Every structure is written in structure tokens, then in C-alpha cells.
Amino acid sequence: MKKRLLFIMPSLSAGGGEKSLVNLLSQLDYNEYQVDLFLFNHDGIFMEYLPPEVRVLPSQQTYKWFTLPFVSSVLKLLRERKLSLVFNRLMYAFNVRRARSIPINEQHSWKHLSRALEKLDAHYDVAIGFLENTSTYLCVDKVDAAKKIGWVHIDYDQFGMDPAIDRLYFEQLNHIVTVSDECAEILRARFPDQRKKIHVVYNIVSPDMIYKMAEEEDEDLYSRKNGEQVILSIGRLHDQKGFEWAIEACSILVERGCKVKWYVIGEGELREALTELIRKYGVEHQFHLLGLKSNPYPFLKQADLYVQPSRYEGKSIAIDEAKIMKKPIVVTNFSTAKDQIQHEENGLIVGMDPCAIADGIEKLITDDTLRGRFVGNLSRSKLGTEEEITKLNSLFA
């Protein structure tokens, strides 16, 4: 008999965790597993990449009412005589306004949001909350499963969460999975009583899939002129990703006479602020926000350099993908950078400021020997992580 698995995720919009889940689902053996997927919101650019064997559970109507804009939500709940939910919707809105950060907002709002979610009817062999906060909380509170697993994709100490809340949930999990050795050490230090539950499973990336998707577009995506070097970054337009450093670094490169075009694939709440910063530094012709791309690999294939200017990461899928595409890489010195880049062997790790980022990029632009060494070392490396699925099979057993 097949094991019944349930994965829980906020949505399949653009993001490393979302891409990681789709990659994982593509590698499962559906002769062994029957897989359901619970999404809080049924949207996102990765929906089209779900394997056909995965059953997406239907949306819950009460949750949809609860998450309408505030006035519409309250009026709808009143009409439906959901009076207790009206109170919880008011408290949910209050928490959103006073929260110090988005992660803490999610944590403190869960007790109100959860009132709008029904317990799932089915029994599962394994339930997996595949992202921090609400996915894990729903896994614990609303699912009947023989085994429960929570997933942490980030450097926990950098993400700004309240560990007192997570400790209550971690105690009820059978396993806690994270994506790098550094992230695991951070969790073990923060939650020493849970250390035996913590496992490292690297993000699953498939070179064959990436190469295939990279060939889906053969036209010139960047329209290079006069020997311009194309720089690509991928990530949500969020403070974590350091794109304001990238914009200033771009202006520094232009001032130095470097012919560069810098493109960013991603979307987020900082688009307006970053657009204004691009104007402030006068790099409207050099720095471009491309928005979301369901298939970023043709853009990655045609880029000359990949740059990740983040403040913190768990284990960046985008960096792994750039390595698979054999791109010279510059990353900032966030806490987990050394898990993916060996400085001056397969990339450069630079300081977390615009000048240091510009220096690293200029070094790669001007030093053909260094770039060649990086490309050669990446070509000789084993970069796929499909075998990580065997670790998951053992956790699901």
C-alpha cells in the first residue's frame, strides 16, 4: 500500500522554498507515495510545474472569507453569522499593524488565522510543513498524521522570529529538516532540546531539468551592445536580498567605466522603493527589474555573471542553479555563503557593502584567467542533489 504524504505550503509563488518543493515533488516515486498538497493560496508561477500525480486539496471557504480585505472580510463573516471569526479577524488586523516584522506577524497572528481553518479530514502517514511559520503550525494543529515534519529554509537567527512560539511547535514534530549544515548548527544552538530531531536535506536541484529548460528560449534576451557584461541576480524584492546594495554597486561600476547591464528576476514589496533608488543613482539604462519569470534558466544561460548580494540566506537555490550553469559568481559574506561558494575556487565572497560588491564584479570582468578557473572548477564538480531524496525516504519510513 502506498504511503500517504501531505505537503503544506502557503502558495507556489516565486521563491526558493516554493521552487525547492516543486523540485522535490518531481523526484518522488509515485509508485510508493500518494501525495496531497495543501496550499493556503492557490496561485503562483510554479503551479504549472507540479507533477500530475500530486493532488491539490481544495480551498477552504471560511479561510477565503477571512483573508479578504479587512472591510470585505468583516462584512462577509457577519453575513455568514461567523461572529467569533469577526473578533479574530479584528485581532488579526491589529497584529498585522503592530508587528515588528513579517515573520513575527505570521507567528503572533496564527492563533487568530487558525480559527478560520478546519482540520483536514484524511489521515496521513507523514505530514510535512514545508516552510517556516504557518505551514508548520497547520501541520501540527490541523492535521492527523502518524509522523510530522517541519522545514526551515533560512538562517533562523537572521530571520527575526520568536523562538518561544516555535519551541511549542517543534516539540510536537518528529523531525525538523533544514537545508544546510550552517542552518542546522544555528537551530541546534537555538533549540538544544530539539537537536536530535534536526536533519540536513539539501535543496533538490536537477541539472538535467535546468539544462532542458534553459534551451526553451533561443533568442537574445539581453540585446548586448558594445561588449556589455550582463549581470543577473534572482530573488524576491525584499530587504533580505540586498538589492539596494546592488543598485549602488552598479552605479559605482558605471562611474569606473565598466560596461554592464544588471538584471534582477523577482518581485516583491520593495519594487517601488528600488525603482526610485535606480532613478536616484541614475542607472535606469543599466539596472533593470524584470519581474517574475516562471522559467529563469534561459536568462541565466545568457548572463555573463551571477551576483547574490544578500544579507542572509539558508541555502540559496539560485546560487546552486548558477553553479550548474557554470556562471562566474559573486556573493556577499552572509553566514551560509561558505556552504555553497569556495572563495576564489568557484566564486568570490565579498563584503556586505556596495563598494565590495562592485570590486568583486570588476575583478571578474577584467580577469579572464580567474573567470576561466571558476568555470573549469564548476565543470568538474558534481552539482546535482537528486540523491537527497534518499534522505527523505528514510525520514518518511
Same domain, 99 and 113: yes
CATH number of the domain to which 25 belongs: 3.40.50.2000
Distance between CA atoms of residues 353 and 309, nearest Å: 9
Q: Name the CA radius of gyration of the chain, rounded.
A: 22
Same domain, 355 and 391: no
Distance between CA atoms of residues 109 and 87, nearest Å: 13
pLDDT reported for residue 281: 96
Query: pLDDT tens, 328-385?
Result: 999 999 988 998 999 999 999 999 999 999 999 999 999 999 999 999 999 988 777 7
pLDDT reported for residue 100: 66
**What are the cell numbers at 123?**
489521515
Same domain, 174 and 270: no
Beta carbons within 10 angstroms of residue 370's beta carbon: 14
Same domain, 225 and 189: no
Same domain, 214 and 103: no
User: In sequence order, what are the beta bridge partners of 6?
Assistant: 36, 127
Same domain, 266 and 374: yes
Distance between CA atoms of residues 284 and 344, nearest Å: 31
Q: CA triplet 118, 121, 125: central angle to 5 degrees?
A: 120
pLDDT reported for residue 117: 96
Question: 149: which DSSP letter?
Answer: E
Same domain, 236 and 355: yes
Same domain, 192 and 220: no
- CB distance 330 to 354 below 8 Å: no
Same domain, 224 and 310: yes
Same domain, 161 and 246: no
Distance between CA atoms of residues 316 and 207, nearest Å: 15
Taking 70 as the pLDDT cut, the residues of the chain under it are 99-100
Q: Of 347, 312, 346, 316, nearest to 330 (Cα)?
A: 347
Distance between CA atoms of residues 201 and 182, nearest Å: 12
Same domain, 192 and 212: no
- Give the 3-state secondary structure of residue 126: strand
What is the domain extent for residue 366?
A: 208-379
- Our count of domains for the chain comes to 2
Distance between CA atoms of residues 231 and 220, nearest Å: 15
Same domain, 41 and 120: yes
CB contact burial 282-313 (16+ within 10 A = b; e otherwise): ebeebbebeeebeebbbbbbbbbbbbbbbbbb
